[in-house]
Structures are given as structure tokens and as C-alpha cells.
Amino acid sequence: MKIRYRLREALIGLSFIWIWIVGFLVFTCYPLIRTLLFSFSQVKITADGVKTTFIGWENYRNALFLNVEFGDTLATYFVETLVIVPIIVVFALIVSLLLNVKIRGKGIFRTIYFLPVIITSGPVIKQLMDQGATTLPGIQTIIEMSKLHESMPELLADLIVFLLTSFITILWFSGVQMLIFLAGLQKLDSSMYEAASIDGASRWESFWKLTLPALNPMIIVNMVYTVIMQSVFSLNPVITQIQSAMYDAKYGMGYSAAMAWIYFLVMLVLLSVLVLVTRQRETNR
Amino acid sequence: MASFQGTKMNPSRFHISQLKFYLILAPLSVFMVMPIIFIFSHSLKPMDELFAFPPRFFVQNPTMDNFRFLLSTFTVSGIPVSRYIFNSVVITVVTVFATIYISAAAGYAFSKKNFKLKNTLFSINTLALMFVPVAVSIPRYFLVVKLGLINDFSVNILPLLAMPVGLFLLKQFIDQIPNELIEAAQIDGANDFTIFRKIIIPMTMPAIATIAILAFQLSWNSIEPATLYVNDEELKNFAYYMSTFTATNNEVAGQGISAAAALIMFIPNLLIFIFMQSRVMNTMAHSGLK
């Protein structure tokens, strides 16, 4: 009897998940494995099918050591993402705290702050970027760039410029993160805060001691989400490079597959750095 | 600061202590609305303003010329526009509902059920999210050929269904639902499907609405299936049709047309957002948990 019950349970569980598993295996997993195989071989697409010859690590070697541009782009991507992701998450946290306060017109504000989601996930963002609408106009002239470069090491100066010019992008890419934070915030029990304030905690203290630890899982989720969204964003320079290599007869499919896998590994390192730092804080407490 | 709010979204009266929040929120919200205004104003720009350097944000002499150009090219091609729009509507509706169902069902199983390889599968899903989408397009093409789906209407829908983001987001939201609630429902005699329909779906409405918006965007704007897998003009979608204008026309006229096309393509996105946003923002408070 027990076994039959467990079997039934398993079948019910399976009935929820099987469509996803099939779709995932066919349309996501299989192509992924195929690119992994491609990355180790020379791929020739001929009239009667694909011809692959195994060449070992050569594609990787070429992409990493012979292609100067690719390494450069990867390095820039790494630094920029490492900086911008925490900023987006912190910004989303601040905004969601503000949007969780009891004020009039909160619903309207929430809608407005969520609005850019339809911009950034659509094709319109490209047009906006081409037009320069994602940067603050005139910011370059307001701060004297030359002075900034004189007084600071170049990498730091570049970073500051990057942050200032991409300020609007930060605002636009925080919609879903904000939603995740808001959901987390609304689960918090108000009696906890009352207890804290009776014990003499200020609002500031109760934010650090109550709100933030409670939101920690959300912060990790948001970190992951933001890294992924930033990295697979279709206008990301690394992606455009991979794409152009793919359709370029000089490089070919195998080479670009290797590039994609290198990029994937870099992204993985980046993600684990960010997640580990966030986790660290949790265990120290 | 973060107090639990009841079912009422807004406090009924304005108080001077709220002013400091407005001072921060209002200026930032200007930036948030900016892109929408830009799309509208851009499509109304006459030729000289489209090419103005430095580019202007607001239109100065609004004109409907771009739309007139676009309409005149509409009539030239062989297949009526309505056909493309019909295809797009069918594709989008099916994709959105199927994506929601698949992601929610899988998210429920991943979050509340125990089975072998559960964590491994979910990690693979998260990792798959990170892989460069363009890099898999060629293997995916081979796959579509192998499955015999080339020139099949369903190819517009199927590749979009396995949306890893959807599962990722929904699992995070379903994790928030306390197990006690589900146990209580089980004691009351609810089976898994009832729990799924009556508890999981209503309580994760904000996430579902978000995924609906994302899935809508994905399928409404995607030109990949139409360019890669479908040769038959009658099976292609509206996004593809619109993209042909911007690609084939000459550079100068193309700019205006593409600005107008962008607006037309964008309006359904905006509508779905307006339709969905109240669900995104409101339901968390009704869910009956703290």
C-alpha cells in the first residue's frame, strides 16, 4: 500500500514537471551540449550537412591568446559588471524600501518604477542607446574629464565615468529586482519592528538588524538575476563579438562556440564571487 | 520603515511627513517614464530631426509622415498585413499561457516536492540562463531540422516555451509560500492540482504577471523563428514583417519608417503592461500571509 502511495505521489510530481523537462532537454540542453562539442572542433557547414573535425583546445587557445580584442572586452565586461551589479541591487533595495512606506500615490509610483521592464527586455532599447538617450546629456562636460584622469589612476577614473554615464541604465534595469525585494519586504512582520522599537532600536538599527538579514536570500536571488540579465543582454559587447564571429567565415562556428564557453566560465566566476561575498556577510552575523 | 500593509494600498490622507519620500521618488520617476516619451516623440520626428546631431530628445515639429510612409509600404507587398498580425496574436497568446503554466507547474514541483536530481536540475536551469543565447542558435537550427519542424507553424512557439527565467523567478516566489499553508490544505483534502490552482497561482500572481509580461515581449518581438526556421511568408509573424522595412529600405527613408514601426511594435507591450501592472503590484498584500 505504501509503495503504491509513493508511486502515485511521484507520478503526480512528474505530471507537473514533465513538459518542462522535455522542453528543457530538447531546446536548451541539447543545443548547449552541441555547442560544447563544436567548441572543440573545426566546424564546416557544407551542402550535405555539418562536418566537424576534432582539434582539441585550439579554438580556446586562439580565442584567448590570439584575439586581443576578445580578451580586452572580457576584462572590461568583468570589471563593469562587478561594479554595476551591486549598485543595481542596492538601488533596487533603496527604491523598494521607499515604495514600501505608507505614502499617497504609492501604487502609481510602483507602476512607474516597474515600467522600464518593458523597455529593457524589448528591442526598443537599442534605438534609445543609438540616440544617446541612456546617458545623461552633458555629464561629460560637467565634470572635467581631464582633471579626473589626472588625479586618479586610469582604471578608477574610467569606472567613475562609466557609472555616471550609465546612471539611467541602472535605473532602468532594476524593475524585476525591485519587485522581488518588495515581495520580500511585505512578508516581514510589523510586530517584529514594534518589539524592536520597544527595546529601544532606532529605525536605522532595525533596518540593519531586522530588514537586511531577512532580505538576504532575496539579495542573493537578485544578484544572480542581475548578473544574468546584464550578461545575456543582447547589446552586451561580448555577445555582439561572439555573434559576428559566428557568421564570419574566417572564424566559424567552432571558434565562436569556444568564445561563448569562455564567456560562460568568466560569468560563472563573477557570479560566484558576488554570491560568496553576500553569503559571507550572512555567516559572520 | 518596512511595515506590513493591509489590503489598502494607499493611505487615505496626505501628511507632511510623506513629503521627503516624494522628494526622492518624483524626480527619479521622470527618468523612468523618459523612454516611453522618447519612443512616441521619436516616431513623430520629421526627417531632418531624425538625423540631427546631437540627437534631440523631444520632437520640435511633429509630423505624421513616418506613419504615412509606413502605411504606403504596407499595401505593396503580396500578403495582407492582417495575416501577419493574426499569426503574431496566435503565437503570442499561446506562448504566454503555455509559458506561465509550464513555469508555474515546474516551479511548484521544484519548490515543494522532493525528487531525485531536484537541485541538480535547478542548478542546470540557472546555468542555462547564463549561456549566450546567440551561440546556441545554430545547434538549435539543426535540431529544428531534425525534428522536421522547418516551415511548421508550431516552430514559432516551441523554442520559446522553455523559458529558464520564468522557472527561476517563479521558484523563488513559490519558495516564499510557507509549507504549513500547503499542509493545511492537504489536511482539508485538497489534492495537488487544487493546491496548485487555489494556492500557488493566486499567491504568486506578481511573479506570474511579470512572467506574462516577459513572455509576451519575447514572443511578440522575436524575429528569430521567422528568419531562421520558416520560409513560408504566410507563417511569419508581425515582428518579422516590420523588420523587413527597416532592413530593406534605403537608409534615409528607413530611419523614419523604423521609428514609426518601433512605436507600432511597442504599443502592444505598453498595453499588456498596463493591463498586468495592477496584478504585479497589488496582490501580495491580499495573500493572507505575513
Looking at this predicted complex, what is its ipTM? 0.78
Determine the Cα–Cα distance for residues A152 and A154; give it in Å rounded to an integer: 6
Given CB atoms, is B128 within the 8 Å cutoff of chain A? yes
A258 by Cβ neighbours in 10 Å (0-12 / 13-18 / 19+) ranks as: buried
Secondary structure letter of residue B58 according to DSSP: S
CA of A153 vs chain B CAs: smallest distance (Å): 31
Task: Name residue, grid cell 564571429.
Answer: A245
Contact B115 A234 (CB under 8 A): no
Task: Give A208's contacts (C-beta < 8 A, 6+ positions apart).
Answer: none
Q: Which residues of A touch B221 (CB under 8 A)?
A: 122-123
**What average pLDDT does range A115-137 have in this prediction?**
65
DSSP B3: -
**Cell matching residue B19:** 513629503
Domain that holds residue B137: 53-283
CATH of the domain at B167: 1.10.3720.10
| pLDDT value at B7 more than 50 | no
Binary contact (B126, A19; C-beta < 8 A): no
Candidates B25, B57, B217: best to mutate against A (most CBs of A within 10 A) is: B25
Report the C-alpha gap between A170 and B165 in whole angstroms: 20
Most confident of A90-94, B46-50, B59-63, B264-268: A90-94
Q: What is the pLDDT of residues B70-90, one digit of tens each?
A: 777 665 566 777 788 888 889
Inside any domain, residue B105:
yes
Q: Which chain B residue has the Cα nearest residue A39?
A: B135
Q: List the single residue in A21, A35, A190 with the smallest CB-CB distance to B3.
A: A190
Report whether A122 contacts B263 (CB < 8 A): no
End-to-end CA distance of chain A: 48
**Considering its fold, how many domains does chain B have in total?**
1
Lowest model confidence (mean pLDDT) among A107-111, A224-228, B180-184, B282-286: B282-286
The answer to whether B17 contacts chain A (CB < 8 Å) is: no
The DSSP line for chain A is -HHHHHHHHHHHHHHHHHHHHHHHIIIIIHHHHHHHHHHTEEEEEETTEEEEEE-TTHHHHIIIII-HHHHHHHHHHHHHHHHHHHHHHHHHHHHHHHHTS--TTHHHHHHHHHTTHHHHTSTHHHHHHHTTTTS-TTHHHHTTHHHHHHHS-HHHHHHHHHHHHTHHHHHHTTHHHHHHHHHHHHTS-HHHHHHHHHTT--HHHHIIIIIHHHHHHHHHHHHHHHHHHHHH-TT-HHHHHHHHHHT-TTTHHHHHHHHHHHHHHHHHHHHHHHHHHHHHHHHH-
pLDDT in tens, A208-266: 888 888 888 888 888 888 888 888 777 778 888 887 877 776 777 788 888 888 888 88
Specify the pLDDT at position B75. Answer: 59
Best CA proximity match to A114, nearest among B214, B91, B85: B214
Q: pLDDT band for B2, please (50, 70, 90 cuts).
A: very low
What's the pLDDT score for residue A213?
A: 84
Which residue in the block uniquely carries the three cell numbers 521607499? A98
Cell of B240: 518579422
pLDDT at B9 over 60: no
Look at phi and psi of residue B288 and say left if phi exceeds 0, alpha if psi is from -120 to 50, else beta.
Answer: left
Measured CA to CA, the distance from residue A119 to residue B282 in angstroms comes to 22
Residue of chain A with shortest Cα separation from B212: A118
B4 touches A: beta carbon within 8 Å: yes
B37 at A interface, C-beta within 8 A: no
Is the pTM for the entire model greater than 0.90?
no
3-state DSSP call for residue B111?
helix
Q: Which of B22, B130, B168 sits opposite A267 (nearest CB)?
A: B130
Out of 1.10.645.10, 1.20.1050.10, 3.40.50.1220, 1.10.3720.10, select the CATH number for domain A60-284: 1.10.3720.10
Residue B171: list chain A partners with CB under 8 A. none
Cβ–Cβ under 8 Å, residues A87 and A163: yes
pLDDT digits (tens, 9 = 90+) for B85-124: 888 889 999 999 999 998 899 889 888 887 777 888 888 8
Interface size between A and B, measured as CB pairs under 8 A: 268
Q: What are phi and psi of A49, to 5 degrees?
A: 110, -175
Does any domain span residue B201?
Answer: yes
- In this prediction, what percent of chain A has a pLDDT beyond 70? 79
Q: Give me the residue spans of the domains in chain A.
A: 2-39, 60-284
The answer to whether residues B65 and B48 touch, using CB atoms and an 8 Å cutoff, is no
pLDDT tens track for B17-40: 677 778 878 877 877 787 788 778
Of A27-36, A123-132, B25-34, B259-268, which gets the smallest average pLDDT? A123-132
CB B220 within 8 A of CB B160: no
- pLDDT score recorded for residue A133: 56
